[in-house]
Structure 1
Amino acid sequence: MDKKNAPIAITVSEALNKMERYCAYQERCHKEVMSKLSGMRLIPEAKEQIILHLLEHNFLNEERFAKSFARGKFRIKKWGKQRIVRELKFRNISTYNIKTALKEIPESSYLETFHELADKKYASLTEKDRYKKKKKLIDYLVYRGWENQLVFDKINDLNL
């Protein structure tokens, strides 16, 4: 192997500093941290040592990550609970932490956001065929993770 393609040796303390900055920048889950550490080509013992350090010094906290993720995706991307749960499960977050995270979303603002999003999308649809318009609205809301019952109740309210 020539010098250009040789892996750059990184010490455990350098990796630890990088991971502290990585976790301090924004909330991270264990899966993201493990993925980042895998890219550093460290021995398993070093990875374990770094993870333990991050947990002990509160750089890595799965519950805090889940809460922050749920609040952010709901508030900014207007995701429904089903999409949030699916994404958290993909990141290997425990069921307990997922339930705790969903409590961060007040029911009143959840429903208010849903109705605003549905009304806005309905108004923006230019489809003339009412069945196609109905399908587009349903697909949009379900993809964003809103519960089927909420979606179909809204469709009935709009008389589609």
Structure 2
Amino acid sequence: MEKKSYTFEEIKQKLVNYCVYQDRCHAEVEQKMREFLLIDEAKEEIILYLLKENYLNEERFTRSYIRGKFYIKHWGKTKIKMNLKQKQVSERLINSCFDEIDDSDYEKTIRKIFEGYYSKQNGLKEYQKKTKTIKYLMSKGFEYEKIIDIFE
């Protein structure tokens, strides 16, 4: 199948639409630009345009990502941070945006997940149920210290 060729303005509009659809980080936009085989100057011009017009905003993306992954997917801070680093978001920005998660909501979520998962463990000894539940919470990205603080 032959790739369709686009003008610079068409590519720019496609990338605007890509950013408008949902918040994107720089790495996602650069990945999308690779599909169009642009020269470096064109890539730079498009990135600058997206930044200037506020279609591309790394802080807004990070805050939105943190809210979504915590409040919808119920991920812990460790897993969120790891995924944002894979998207090449700076650690300083990630740490400054974690205020999107309320501490009391964080504890409530750990408790809710712990109680739900713990109660489903049938036919196991008490320590096995607890160990399995703690491992599950850690796989969701919650910190071991926080889990233990809440349940000890």
When the two structures are superposed, what TM-score results if normalisation uses the length of structure 1?
0.88
Q: 1:77 deviation in Å?
A: 0.7
SS in 1 for 2:104: helix
Residue 58 (1) aligns with residue 51 (2): no
The answer on whether the counterparts of 1:31 and 1:92 sit within 8 Å (CA) in structure 2 is yes
Kept after mapping to 2: 8 A contact 1:83/1:144:
yes
1:35 matched to 2:35? The reply is: no
**Aligned match of 1:90:** 86
Stretches of structure 2 that go unaligned for 5 or more consecutive residues are none
1:110-154 per-residue CA deviation (whole Å, 9 max, x = no partner) reads 111111111111112234244442332122100111011122345
**Over the residues paired in the alignment, what is the CA RMSD in angstroms?**
1.5
Amino acid at match of 1:79: W
Which residue of structure 2 lines up, in the alignment, with residue 111 of structure 1? 107
Structure 1 gaps, min length 5? none
Superposed displacement of residue 100, structure 1: 2.0
TM-score, structure 2 as length reference: 0.92
User: In structure 2, the residue corresponding to 1:103 is in which secondary structure?
Assistant: helix
CA deviations on 1:47-101 (whole Å, 9 max, x unpaired) are: 1111111001000000010001001111001111111111111111112210122
> For residue 25 of structure 1, what is the amino acid of its counterpart?
Y
Q: Whole-Å Cα distance in 2 between the matches of residues 111 and 154 of structure 1?
A: 7
Distance 2:122 2:45 in 1: 56
Give the SS at the match of 1:101. Answer: helix
Aligned residues: 152
1:151 alignment partner in structure 2: 147
Task: List 4+ stretches of structure 1 deviating above 3 A.
Answer: 129-132, 153-156
Residue 107 of structure 2 contacts residue 150 of structure 2 at CA under 8 Å; is this kept in 1?
no
